């Protein structure tokens, strides 16, 4: 039932315009951070991908932009039960970072400045995950993960690691910060995969 318009180049609209079970509609944009907000200058920002064999690739801010960002229109769902419909973002698809990477990995383990981590299955992220750096036409606020955060809107929002700076490819699943504290290893809001 999702709306997807592949003909409209450079823009992705993936809003179901519907609330998953147990969610309510939020008009504001709550901030949920497990610790203090790190202040990372774009000039110092770096993202590192590490494969299961220890091969590494890194991007600075400009190199990340050179991968080709796109507009994203999507709904987001927090496990604390708020959802926002039709939010607008700009970000680089995860697929671009994985281009040409040889891997047998089945899981992505994202890490952030400040130490936050979260895990998710890699196979379902094609076309559905971004490194996002703009929200609603403006630079992403530090409180919301700026300069750049992961955006994985088909899973509960705790999987969208703010201040992302590492992407580890794993062959065996590993719990991240909230997953070690009882949150679901997958986190599909349509199946209410909230906790273990
Ligand atoms: N680095 C980091 N990323 C994080 C979090 C966090 O505490 N630290 N909280 C997660 C949770 S539980 C949610 S609901 C969303 C909240 O994002 P927001 O503060 O932009 O609403 O970020 C997720 N990403
Ligand atoms: Mo959350």
Residue 2 in any domain: the answer is: no
User: Is residue 14 in some structural domain?
Assistant: no
**pLDDT tens for residues 98-133?**
999 999 999 999 999 999 999 999 999 999 999 999
Contact predicate 145/162, CB 8 Å: yes
In a domain, 96, yes or no: yes
The pLDDT assigned to 9 comes to 42
Position 113 in a domain: yes
pLDDT band at 78 (very low <50, low <70, confident <90, very high): very high
| 23-58 pLDDT tens trace | 999 999 999 999 999 999 999 999 999 999 999 999
> For residue 7, is it within any domain?
no
What average pLDDT does this structure show over 164-187? Answer: 98
Q: How much distance in Å is there from the Cα of 162 to the middle of ligand 1?
A: 6
Task: Give the DSSP per-residue string, 145-163.
Answer: TTT-EEE-TTS-GGGS-TT
| Ligand 1 in reach of 181 Cβ (< 6 A) | no
Please give the residue range of the domain that contains residue 138. Answer: 24-28+45-191
Q: How many domains does the chain have?
A: 1
The Å distance, Cα 158 to ligand 2 centre, comes to 5
Residue 15 lies in a domain: no
Task: Specify if 196 maps to a domain.
Answer: no
Q: Is residue 88 part of a domain?
A: yes
Asked if residue 6 has pLDDT above 80, the reply is no
Output the pTM of the full model.
Answer: 0.94
Which of 27, 28, 29, 32 most suits a substitution to test ligand 1, by most atoms within 8 Å of the C-beta?
A: 32
**pLDDT above 90 (res 11):** no
CATH label of the domain that carries residue 102: 3.90.420.10
């Amino acid at each position: 039932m999702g709306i997807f318009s592949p003909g409209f180049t450079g823009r992705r609209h993936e809003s179901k315009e519907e609330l998953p079970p147990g969610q309510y509609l939020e008009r504001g944009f709550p901030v949920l951070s497990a610790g203090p907000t790190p202040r990372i200058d774009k000039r110092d920002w770096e993202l590192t991908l590490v494969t299961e064999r220890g091969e590494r690739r890194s991007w600075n801010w400009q190199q990340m932009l050179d991968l080709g960002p796109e507009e994203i229109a999507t709904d987001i769902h927090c496990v604390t039960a708020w959802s926002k419909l039709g939010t607008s973002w700009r970000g680089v698809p995860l697929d671009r970072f994985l281009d040409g990477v040889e891997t047998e990995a089945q899981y992505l383990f994202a890490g952030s400045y400040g130490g936050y981590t979260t895990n998710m299955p890699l196979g379902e992220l094609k076309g559905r995950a971004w490194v996002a750096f703009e929200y609603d036409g403006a630079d992403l606020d530090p409180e919301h993960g700026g300069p750049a955060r992961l955006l994985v809107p088909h899973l509960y929002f705790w999987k969208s690691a703010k201040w992302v700076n590492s992407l580890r490819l794993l062959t065996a699943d590993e719990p991240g910060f909230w997953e070690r504290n009882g949150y679901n290893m997958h986190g599909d809001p349509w199946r209410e995969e909230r906790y273990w």
